Amino acid sequence: MREHLEAVVDALRRLRAEGSTHVFVSDDTLERLRTTFAPRGGAMAIEAETEAEQFVEPASFSPVPASTPARRPTAGSSSTAALRWDGQPIAKLPAPLEIKLPKGSKMEQMNWLRDRVLNCEVCNAHLRPGRKLVFGVGTPEAEIFFCGEGPGADEEQQGEPFVGPAGQLLTKIIQAMGLSRDKVYIGNVMKWRPEMPTEWGNREPTPEEVAFSLPFLRAQLDIVKPKVIVALGNTAVIALLGLDPETKMKDYRGKWHEFNGVPLMFTYHPSYLLRNTALSVKRQVWENMLLVMEKVGLPINEKQRGYFLKG
Ligand code: URA
């Protein structure tokens, strides 16, 4: 039970570190928390204020002293992050693999790499039984490469990146740009869902997990050679630009950076947009996407320019 509670606390600390000041908790989630943490009808720490909407400040939720650094749980920094689904500690990772792409067309190279990832023993050893590694989708001819953090529960079930609620939002963003999922490339830093003792919830990958997974992502980028990379969220930009995890992300967001000579735009992860529904945040992301569209020479009409501006 304690691990479950710590998983919630870790998730809330992570949200706070990302800049969230409020969290939406649905009635359904409240009910689940109620049954999880107060199975015998004990005192409830969490009470709904209204029927449909409930906002809770992460800081007020956390029993962790305010002076404790709020960023990046790593394996070993909390009991939840250090355990797998069966309560066993997460196995240590070997040194990252060296990947030398074979000669051939982009499609041949991508198929070779997919095969390599899906058969990677280390990656498979970190999968929850019955779940899938998540390689990437889209066209290797893509001009825009969207890069996220790693699979969540929906993605590891389906073996495809960005298919859960955040993914559906990303798909809408791509469509608003006049594109579709098969005209871009969508990948992640991680190819497996970082292990958790719970079915639900996600945690950030550890630096070791990122280091092990990065050569696969680099190889995907090497094959696609996109005109622009869109880094979705902190994990992606930290991994790709090799930033210190303590970097102030707001100084980086919405600006052009470079990965191996390829322009890289850093924007909010779509899961942040699901939590923070402010029009101004949607507009920020959309302005970042307008910059991306301009950079790759996509047509932009007046209607598109005006998305998420107050009427
Ligand atoms: N979040 C990510 O970063 N990647 C996914 O594939 C899904 C959710």
DSSP conformation letters of 122-168: HHHHTSPTT-----EEE-TT-SEEEEES---HHHHHHT-SS-SHHHH
Q: Which helix (H) or strand (E) is 220 found in, with range?
A: helix 207-224
Q: What is the pTM of this model?
A: 0.78
CA angle 206, 208, 209 (to 5 degrees): 65
In a domain, residue 171? The reply is yes
Question: Cα 48–52–56 angle (5° rounding)?
Answer: 45
Q: Could you tell me if 165 and 16 lie in one domain?
A: no
Both 21 and 93 in one domain: the answer is no
- Structural domain includes residue 99: yes
Amino acid at 95: A
How many other CB atoms are there within 10 angstroms of residue 167's CB atom?
Answer: 22
Q: Domain check: are 88 and 156 in the same one?
A: yes
Question: Does residue 262 sit within a domain?
Answer: yes
Using one digit for the tens of pLDDT, what is the confidence trace for 90-102? 989 999 999 999 9
Is there an atom of ligand 1 within 6 Å of 213 CB? no
Q: Is 233 found in the same domain as 86?
A: yes
Same domain membership, residue 244 and residue 148: yes
Does any domain span residue 311?
Answer: no
First to last CA, the chain: 48
> Mutate which of 131, 162, 238 to test ligand 1's pocket (most atoms within 8 Å of Cβ)?
162
- What is the atom index within ligand 1 of the atom nearest the CA of 188? 4
Positive or negative torsion for Cα 89, 79, 198, 189: negative
* 20 and 117 inside one domain: no
239 beta partners = none
CATH number of residue 163's parent domain: 3.40.470.10
Overall average pLDDT of the 4-25 stretch? 60
Give a yes or no: residue 126 inside a domain. yes
Q: Which residues in the chain belong to E strands, given as ranges?
A: 23-24, 55-56, 136-138, 144-148, 185-188, 228-232, 256-259, 262-267
Residue 162 Cβ contacting ligand 1 at under 6 Å: yes
Do 171 and 217 share a domain, yes or no? yes
**Angle at Cα 203 formed by Cα 286 and Cα 228, nearest 5°?**
35
Residues 243-267, mean pLDDT to the nearest whole number: 96
Cβ of 151 less than 6 Å from ligand 1 = yes
Atom of ligand 1 nearest to the CA of 236: 3
What are the tens digits of pLDDT across the range 23-78? 666 555 655 555 555 433 333 222 222 222 222 222 221 222 222 223 333 444 44
Q: Are 12 and 129 in the same domain?
A: no
Among 5-14, 64-73, 80-89, 288-297, the range of highest mean pLDDT: 288-297
CA of 169 to the centre of ligand 1 (A): 11
Contact 150 CB / ligand 1 (< 6 Å): yes
Asked, for residue 252, whether it belongs to a domain, the answer is yes
Whether residue 204 is found in the same domain as residue 98: yes
pLDDT per residue as tens digits for the range 147-203: 999 999 999 999 999 999 999 999 999 999 999 999 999 999 999 999 988 888 899
Q: Could you tell me if 172 and 65 lie in one domain?
A: yes
Query: For 294-305, what is each residue's pLDDT tens digit?
Result: 999 999 999 999
Residue 58, ligand 1, Cβ within 6 A: no
Report pLDDT digits (tens) over 188-247: 999 999 998 888 889 999 999 999 999 999 999 999 999 999 999 999 999 999 999 999
For position 201, what pLDDT does the model report? 86
Last residue of a domain, one of 12, 28, 53: 53
Q: Which residues constitute the domain of residue 178?
A: 59-305
310 belongs to a structural domain: no
What gap in Å lies between CA 193 and CA 133, rounded to an integer? 8
Question: Nearest CA to 72 among 210, 188, 197?
Answer: 210
Q: What is the dihedral of CA 274, 277, 256, 142, to 10 degrees?
A: 50
In a domain, 188, yes or no: yes
Distance 36 CA to ligand 1 centre (A): 26
CB of residue 138 inside a 6 A radius of ligand 1: no
The structural domain count of the chain equals 2
Q: Reduced to 3 states, what is the DSSP secondary structure of residue 24?
A: strand
Q: Are residues 124 and 272 in the same domain?
A: yes
Residue 161 Cβ contacting ligand 1 at under 6 Å: yes
pLDDT at residue 63 in the model: 24
Please tell me whether residues 35 and 159 are part of one structural domain.
no
